A and B are shown apart, each in its own frame.
Chain A
């Protein structure tokens, strides 16, 4: 089972590199922000997989916290693009 998890993690890293193409090339900040948000979602799954490979439950808590931080960061960036300031 651990082998399957390892392969899944490697494939996920490859898809993160595909998203990174859009972050580097993408015209305008909105494209980059969408790609960055996608990378964030994939990182959550990757954290859970790492937790299961090394058998450490603490990674699940990190994943929950990361989900919230990713959401707030995306929201703040979108607000900044929209209005020119965060508040």
Chain B
């Protein structure tokens, strides 16, 4: 018999892994820097949040759970900022955005 909390943890981890796999697939398939930033910035943020949420449920109410919550909040603030910095660098370097029907870079 599996405890319901463990089941919820497993479900959240599997859901997070799906997003974690979709991120790199997008990184490989999408055509240019800007669209790749979409894939890396969003799928990864969602994936890590779901997996760490699963660990919080597994842990219960302890110091470590609060630490994990802090980690989720950190990545929520830091990941968009890092993506923004990279995309801005690409924009300043005048990398031409891909249009529909164009050639992939």
Chain A residues in contact with chain B, CB under 8 A? Answer: 1, 4, 8, 11-12, 15, 18-19, 21-22, 27-28, 30-31, 33-35, 37-38, 41-42, 44-45, 48, 52, 57, 60-61, 63-64, 67-68, 71, 74-75, 78-79, 81-82
Q: Could you tell me the distance between the alpha carbons of A60 and B71 in the complex, rounded to whole angstroms?
A: 9
Chain B 49-68: CB-based contact to A (< 8 A → 1; otherwise 0): 00110010010000010011
A-B pair count, CB < 8 Å, reads 122
Q: Could you tell me the distance between the alpha carbons of A31 and B88 in the complex, rounded to whole angstroms?
A: 13
**Once the chains bind, are B71 and A44 in contact (CB under 8 Å)?**
yes
Interface of B is mostly: helix
A-B contacts, 19 of them at CB < 8 A, read A15-B24, A18-B27, A27-B105, A28-B105, A30-B86, A34-B40, A35-B40, A38-B23, A38-B24, A41-B45, A45-B47, A48-B68, A57-B64, A60-B64, A60-B67, A64-B74, A67-B78, A79-B89, A81-B89
